[in-house]
């Protein structure tokens, strides 16, 4: 097994974009009452239930998200991403995900289709294997369950 394959063994990347560090502090009607730490703990539990390890990161910076996606090519088996508002604006994040050649599940806490029209389109959705929105924090558990299925299918 190569060094890259060894370091990626069982690890998945969970990426949260701008403002998601504010979870639990404001707008509970839209985003729920759980904090980012709660969501990340839920992700680690959901990943562990499928024999995977969730590496959880949050940043407000587009370039940092892109660097993490590049890193994932050799360090992770798949990606769960909530790009936040960058979903609606970032062709660069879309291109990085397309170039990663990893399974990708996009998550949104809110149902973006029931909100303002500028949230209805996500550049990321076209390169994601699955998109989950409107399920609140449970969406991350659903995303990791599906990602585990994709990762394990690739391993067979």
> Does 20 interact with ligand CA2 (rule: CB under 6 A)?
yes
Around Cβ 124, how many Cβ atoms within 10 Å?
24
Q: Which of 108, 123, 140, 146 is catalytic?
A: 108
Contact (Cβ atoms closer than 8 angstroms) between residue 7 and residue 75: yes
In the residue annotation, 108 being an active-site residue is answered as yes
- Of residues 41, 64, 85, 130, which one binds ligand CA2 by CB under 6 A? 85
Please report, for residues 71, 91, 98, 118, the alpha-carbon distance to residue 137 in angstroms, rounded to integers and kept in the order given: 25, 25, 25, 22
Locate 139 and state its tokens. 């969406």
CB of 124 to ligand CA2, least distance (A): 10
> Does 119 interact with ligand CA2 (rule: CB under 6 A)?
yes
Q: Indicate the SS3 state at residue 66.
A: helix
Bridge partner list, 82: 16
> Does 27 interact with ligand CA2 (rule: CB under 6 A)?
yes
Binding-site ranges for ligand CA2 (CB under 6 A): 19-20, 22-23, 26-27, 31, 82, 84-85, 87, 108-110, 112, 119
Instruction: Return the active site residues.
Output: 31, 108
């Amino acid at each position: 097994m190569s060094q890259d394959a060894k370091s990626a063994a069982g690890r998945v990347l969970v990426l949260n974009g701008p403002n998601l560090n504010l979870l639990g502090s404001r707008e509970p009607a839209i985003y729920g009452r759980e904090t980012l730490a709660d969501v990340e703990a839920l992700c680690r539990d959901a990943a562990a239930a499928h024999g995977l390890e969730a590496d959880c990161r949050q940043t407000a910076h587009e370039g940092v998200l892109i660097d993490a996606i590049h890193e994932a090519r050799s360090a992770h088996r798949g990606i769960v991403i909530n790009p936040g508002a960058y979903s609606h604006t970032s062709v660069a994040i879309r291109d990085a995900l397309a170039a990663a050649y990893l399974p990708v599940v996009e998550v949104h806490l809110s149902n973006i289709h029931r909100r303002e029209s500028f949230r209805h389109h996500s550049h990321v959705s076209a390169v994601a294997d699955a998109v989950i929105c409107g399920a609140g924090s449970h969406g991350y558990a659903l995303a990791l369950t599906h990602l585990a299925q994709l990762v394990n299918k690739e391993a067979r």
